[in-house]
A and B are shown apart, each in its own frame.
Chain A
Amino acid sequence: MNKFGFSLSPSSAINLDQVDRTFFNKLTEVEPDALRCMACGSCSATCTAAGYTGMSVRKVLLNLQRGRNEEVRKMLSACMLCGKCTMVCPRGINTRSIILNISKLW
């Protein structure tokens, strides 16, 4: 059989009824602002580390809501805390505080 370089990838569908959101819930207790994120991506667009590490605060919050904690760990280990995401957030969310609290609660 010829191989054309294609393969079936496992489904990336996330069943929100089944994901484990305990960590995200724990986070929202100390950081209720995490719920105010509208995922506009301003933080990702300005992020200093984004270009070479894939860091994105938007994705961090989305992944936590979807229970994909392992990806969050990878992203956060590249954060340099420079604060640009906080400066540009249209919702005025203190993203640095969220990042530090995630690191503390992890």
Chain B
Amino acid sequence: MVDYLHPSGFNSFIMPFVLGMTFVLVWCIGGAIRVIYELTPGDRKKFFLSLINPRIMAKNIKEWFCDCLFHVKLWKRNKLLGYMHSSIAFGWFMIIVVGHIEVFLYTPERIHRIWYPIFFRYFVAVTDHTMSGSFFFFLMDFFLLMILSGIILAMLKRAYSLLFGMRRTTRPSLTDLIGLYSLWSIFPLRLLAEGFTADISGGSFLTKTLNHLLHSFYSDPTQALPVWWAYSIALGVFMFILPFSRYMHIPAEILLIPMRNAGIPIRYSRKGISRLQVYSCPGCGVCIDACPLSAAKANIKDATVYLNRQLKRNNKKRIDQISDKCLLCGKCSSVCPVGVEGDKLRIAQRSTRKYNLTPDYSSIDGKQFIPQGSGKILYFAGCMTHLTPAIKRSLVSILEKAGEDYTIMDENGGICCGRPMLMAGRRDAAQQMIEKNTSIIMASGATTLLLSCPICYRIFKENYKLEGIEILHHTEYIKRLISEKRIDISKSDIKFAYHDPCELGRGCGIYEEPRDIIRAAGELLEGTKNGAESICCGGSLGSLSLGDEQRKRLIENALNNLTVASPDAIVTACPLCKNTFKRHSAIPVIDIAEVALQSIEKK
């Protein structure tokens, strides 16, 4: 049984909502067209092709549900935080969906009125005595309750964020606050509005109960109109502030997911996918706690969430400061629930910098570096390994013991791999080095390129085109030697704490190989944060402006994280980490190659 309470199907209170909704739709469609237009033609084609690829599309659909609605990544971080976000997102989504189903079932001729699913109870009375009627009423009240519980948690989070696993949260901007308060008020007002009319339009456990309560105060149902107005105004305010606040992440993430799955890289500082990532930032502040710079309450305003805010505001000075200070450890990207790549965004900002002096390596003769030997394995130690010769010596001994036919590429000097230059945003200069090194490696006749520095390893993997040459980090190589039984490692009872270098772990996804080697050589201990969340040693070449004094605090923080289980030694797989740690560590800091060699020699 369906009754039209207001046969015209219109009341002027819907206007704030309709205007806000129209504004948001126009803004978002315009924004999406702009982002797609700003991609390079190749990327654009790749994006459109990905939309008709069933495998990628299935992934998109899964991520739309898991990321946008269920916030699976936040659930994994903290249950309460996950529930808070997913209850609001999924609950709201379901209220909209069920609202549409109701309109479709009961008043299908009015489906084109976009306000109908939202204010259905005001316009239409459906009996709640039938099975289907009471089912929908129950669903609507159930999801409303879910959202309200989420909002109560959100209020609690502002006071006690530690309950939600967050030590520090983002300081909201003015527009964020307006958005926040309007969002918080939408659902209590909806409950109140539906509660007022529940005796006429029908309701369920929440709205009916509230209606009984309200009846003791008022008797005239026309008094409900101001509450419906307030509900609509709250929606309207939220919609109008949405593009200028952090809530822009709601529509932006819907586009970011297919773009990310299409594999579109950041190419420009502000255009295309960079713009999309900036607007997809929900300002949740997970990156603040994650950032190694924010150790001891310093540099909080340099986290990725603030970079995104300054990028929206186009504050050039702060953008430069934030992007130059960053260590580019990539931890913010790995913890980000929406997948904003803070490190790559910063490199893109750096690449806009104008330099009046540009490097020119054309006068360097690459031929002088072509190695004399004809070994199948070409070992490129890299700049940083030359600063920590113990690593090079150990690896060479291991190569000898394995009876490997090897050549050292930069025994008497070589050209930098180019990664530090690339991190400074100077792509052209880095490209010159890449080309020089490529020709040296190709001329050597080797089939395997062995590296002991993760910084080199990453650029060789990502930016070099070395046809037919296998690129190996020494952790992978030693692991292979052990599993092929070409070297014998004896287990001792020394306790090693392993530090994941940023470029090797988060950068190249190598976490298990070094751990396997350590397990073979001794006892493996973990720091409180490890793997994808390991803390940068503080010596990173990524930071351009961080001084020695400021780094000291970061190094100590990283060391404290590693020494919680009181290990005998800290093991790392990066010469830069080793060099940084050993100056401040009370216990020995050694490379994985040294660990392996020591346990071979003991035999």
Instruction: Convert B382-396 into 0s and 1s, putting 1 for each residue whose CB lies closer than 8 angstroms to a CB of A.
Output: 011011000000000
Q: Does B548 contact A (CB under 8 A)?
A: yes
CA distance A72 to B98 in the complex (A): 71
Question: Which residue, B354, B426, B544, has most C-beta atoms of chain A within 10 A?
Answer: B544
Asked whether A104 lies within 8 Å of B355 as measured between CB atoms, the reply is: yes
CA distance A88 to B424 in the complex (A): 20
Residues on A with beta carbons closer than 8 Å to the beta carbon of B579: 87
CA distance A77 to B386 in the complex (A): 22
Asked whether B358 lies within 8 Å of A77 as measured between CB atoms, the reply is: yes
Among A66-106, those with CB < 8 Å from B are 73, 76-84, 87-89, 92-94, 96-97, 100, 102-106
Q: Does A52 contact B (CB under 8 A)?
A: yes
Residues on B with beta carbons closer than 8 Å to the beta carbon of A78: 359-361, 364
Looking at the complex, which one of A46, A80, A84, A94 makes contact with B359 (CB distance below 8 Å)?
A80
CA distance A82 to B579 in the complex (A): 14
Q: Does B545 contact A (CB under 8 A)?
A: yes
Instruction: Convert B406-440 into 0s and 1s, putting 1 for each residue whose CB lies closer than 8 angstroms to a CB of A.
Output: 00000011111010110010100100010000000
B358 to chain A minimum Cβ distance, whole angstroms, is 7
| Contact A83/B420 with A76-B357, A76-B359, A104-B355 known, Cβ cut-off 8 Å | yes
Asked whether B547 lies within 8 Å of A81 as measured between CB atoms, the reply is: no
Q: Does B466 contact A (CB under 8 A)?
A: no
CA distance A44 to B365 in the complex (A): 20
| Interface bracket on B | 35 or more
Residues on B with beta carbons closer than 8 Å to the beta carbon of A94: 545-548
A68 to chain B minimum Cβ distance, whole angstroms, is 15
CA distance A33 to B548 in the complex (A): 11
Q: Does A65 contact B (CB under 8 A)?
A: no
Residues on B with beta carbons closer than 8 Å to the beta carbon of A46: 386-387
Residues on A with beta carbons closer than 8 Å to the beta carbon of B545: 94, 97
Give the dominant DSSP class at B's interface.
Answer: loop
CA distance A63 to B184 in the complex (A): 63
Q: Does A56 contact B (CB under 8 A)?
A: no
Looking at the complex, which one of A49, A77, A84, A93 makes contact with B357 (CB distance below 8 Å)?
A77
Asked whether B384 lies within 8 Å of A84 as measured between CB atoms, the reply is: yes
The residue on A at minimum CB distance from B369 is A52
| Contact A103/B541 with A48-B383, A80-B433, A84-B383 known, Cβ cut-off 8 Å | no
Residues on B with beta carbons closer than 8 Å to the beta carbon of A105: 356
A36 to chain B minimum Cβ distance, whole angstroms, is 11
Asked whether B358 lies within 8 Å of A96 as measured between CB atoms, the reply is: no
Q: Does B539 contact A (CB under 8 A)?
A: yes
CA distance A47 to B363 in the complex (A): 17
A48 to chain B minimum Cβ distance, whole angstroms, is 5
CA distance A73 to B359 in the complex (A): 9
Residues on A with beta carbons closer than 8 Å to the beta carbon of B364: 52-53, 78
Residues on A with beta carbons closer than 8 Å to the beta carbon of B433: 80
Asked whether B424 lies within 8 Å of A100 as measured between CB atoms, the reply is: yes
Asked whether B547 lies within 8 Å of A92 as measured between CB atoms, the reply is: yes
Asked whether A92 lies within 8 Å of B549 as measured between CB atoms, the reply is: yes
| Contact A103/B413 with A52-B364, A78-B361 known, Cβ cut-off 8 Å | no
Q: Does B353 contact A (CB under 8 A)?
A: yes
CA distance A76 to B355 in the complex (A): 12
Q: Does B397 contact A (CB under 8 A)?
A: no
CA distance A87 to B577 in the complex (A): 11
A59 to chain B minimum Cβ distance, whole angstroms, is 15
CA distance A73 to B545 in the complex (A): 22
Q: Does B374 contact A (CB under 8 A)?
A: no
Asked whether A80 lies within 8 Å of B358 as measured between CB atoms, the reply is: no
Q: Does B368 contact A (CB under 8 A)?
A: yes
| Contact A100/B544 with A78-B364, A88-B387 known, Cβ cut-off 8 Å | yes
The residue on B at minimum CB distance from A99 is B357
Question: Which residue, A33, A84, A93, has most C-beta atoms of chain B within 10 A?
Answer: A84
The residue on A at minimum CB distance from B356 is A106
A30 to chain B minimum Cβ distance, whole angstroms, is 10
Residues on B with beta carbons closer than 8 Å to the beta carbon of A92: 547-549
Looking at the complex, which one of A82, A88, A104 makes contact with B416 (CB distance below 8 Å)?
A82
Asked whether A48 lies within 8 Å of B547 as measured between CB atoms, the reply is: no
B549 to chain A minimum Cβ distance, whole angstroms, is 7
Instruction: Convert B570-603 into 0s and 1s, putting 1 for each residue whose CB lies closer than 8 angstroms to a CB of A.
Output: 0000001001000000000000000000000000
CA distance A82 to B422 in the complex (A): 10
Among B511-551, those with CB < 8 Å from A are 539, 541, 544-549
Residues on B with beta carbons closer than 8 Å to the beta carbon of A52: 364-365, 368, 413
CA distance A78 to B421 in the complex (A): 12
| Contact A100/B355 with A48-B413, A80-B415 known, Cβ cut-off 8 Å | yes
Residues on A with beta carbons closer than 8 Å to the beta carbon of B363: 53
Residues on A with beta carbons closer than 8 Å to the beta carbon of B359: 76-80
Asked whether A106 lies within 8 Å of B357 as measured between CB atoms, the reply is: yes
Residues on A with beta carbons closer than 8 Å to the beta carbon of B416: 48-49, 80-82
Instruction: Convert B340-360 into 0s and 1s, putting 1 for each residue whose CB lies closer than 8 angstroms to a CB of A.
Output: 000000000000011111111
Residues on B with beta carbons closer than 8 Å to the beta carbon of A49: 416
Question: Which residue, A103, A104, A105, has most C-beta atoms of chain B within 10 A?
Answer: A103
The residue on B at minimum CB distance from A106 is B356
CA distance A48 to B381 in the complex (A): 12
B50 to chain A minimum Cβ distance, whole angstroms, is 36
CA distance A102 to B355 in the complex (A): 9
The residue on B at minimum CB distance from A100 is B544
Asked whether A83 lies within 8 Å of B541 as measured between CB atoms, the reply is: yes
A37 to chain B minimum Cβ distance, whole angstroms, is 13
Q: List 29 A-B contacts (CB under 8 A).
A: A46-B386, A48-B416, A51-B413, A52-B413, A53-B364, A78-B361, A78-B364, A80-B361, A83-B384, A84-B384, A84-B387, A87-B384, A87-B387, A87-B576, A89-B548, A94-B547, A94-B548, A96-B420, A96-B424, A96-B541, A97-B547, A100-B544, A102-B357, A103-B357, A103-B358, A104-B356, A105-B356, A106-B355, A106-B356
Interface residues of A (CB under 8 A from B): 33, 46, 48-49, 51-53, 73, 76-84, 87-89, 92-94, 96-97, 100, 102-106
Further 8 A-B residue pairs, CB within 8 A, beyond A94-B545, A97-B545: A46-B386, A52-B413, A53-B364, A82-B420, A96-B541, A97-B547, A100-B544, A103-B356
